[in-house]
Structure 1
């Protein structure tokens, strides 16, 4: 009899955490485990990607910053009813909101619980208080694990285990590249960046470095694929990037193309992927995807990327507080095709050895 796993993932956006949950649903060993999903239903693309054999329950888990105490209690009651109906052997939670709901239900119904933590935003009070409840706390990087070490009590630190995200190498074998719909120019060198448009992602540094190289490399182009969230500062930052592009007269060279669904096709179209976060990145999913697809990567040396990339072996790292490092690295790599090819080969090997999704899911299954 397979063990029933209830995965709690609000999925109000379709980011790295949500994509990883979808991959986990697909890859879990069906002989050993029967997954059931509880999600908000607010993200249509997420719902569309749920494997067809998965039993799903839609429960609109509003952001804890916006929810009223009454609505929070109603949601808890509904989640309790779902658990009583499904009788899961274990609850697996994805994102902070899910950890809090899942912890309360786990304690009430005495169901074992596992967290998967994807970022640094877990408030200290909640992390410390609720970390008594899961039997295991999985983190997508050592950087996230170290962040939680500082937030939870010493008696619970043994629960922490870093298990990274991965790339589905089986899916990659059957992947067929389709060049995205864009006005591609012949004989141009394309730098690319993919991710949510937020200030800490450091796109302004990338545009700044790009501007310094346009005289030396007239065929250089930059594409930033991503959109701001509904946060006020994200929207403001988007406008600032547009103004930066206009002020530098780069409108025909730098392109903000918004959110794109087909990330692999865009990554494959870039000659170089740039990840320029100015604050620690929890992991860096797009980095391992680029490495798997054979696109060389430059990334800032903060957080997860420094765990993925061995500098000058399978990619390049720079210090975002020293923007000249980024400019010099770009110049070096644009000018050296052989170096880019060498780095790309090493990067593919790294993904096969360390970020194979099938093997990573097996590690997670062991915690169940």
Structure 2
């Protein structure tokens, strides 16, 4: 989890919940009603754009995805770790006008199902995504991925070049996510919680979201306010009672990234994060070698980052990482964006416009 802007997002979001709940009985009742009745307005917009949630069996994997109408070349979207396909909701209506969108919950996330012993690794997940592009998409596609999804986009372009016409890499943790360097990043604090959950026997069917909040009480106390974790837990339980079986969406949180992170964490397999923590996710997937093997047009987008006083990387890549990545790409370009890690939520109009310009330019 990042600090700086993301901490400010957590703080403003949870202060909103806390302020709303500060009153006596009537205030609490109003807060409960607001939580119970909340529906993300983008659900309707995504549905109106023609996106339909589907599933496809790919070997042992029941892959869940949202597909849009056939309005152009195929575009595969791979979300960030801890999130799901709906994190792209703010850009889906626009993108679906120019592309045939396939927005995937890759293994470990969302409604996608895998066997209990499924290996959480780039090589296995990448191979299953390639099979999906072959069988369901039906041919080569443009691919974009955010964070861990960006690493998977690199894997696809490097290992299955015949399936990838071009890639946009949205702030992927290139080099920084490799072991042992992962331990020097702020993201590893969440991955360490994932590893602890796996050791405790927490599975994808258990309540990892509340486990994660309880394990990070100190973060919430230090960066938001004392009691924040308890307040957030209560809000989540209230939503679940009103919306059984649905992904968590606490509407009183005004920050889209925070809300959609909680939604994704509600159906997240901690084995995925644990594999980053111990290095097994990248086993056999060398970032430098893969980047050098990418032959299609590639655009690397880098979001904001900082280096904390103790040397911890607070972000996906340092400037040195980004410069090295671009130097390795055969046909690569680069843009630095003043935005938080999930660029498509922080700057949706910019992100959608960038994808359209870059991909459709190369389609022509």
TM-score by length of 2: 0.31
More helix by share: 2
Q: Name which one, 1 or 2, has greater alpha-carbon Rg.
A: 1
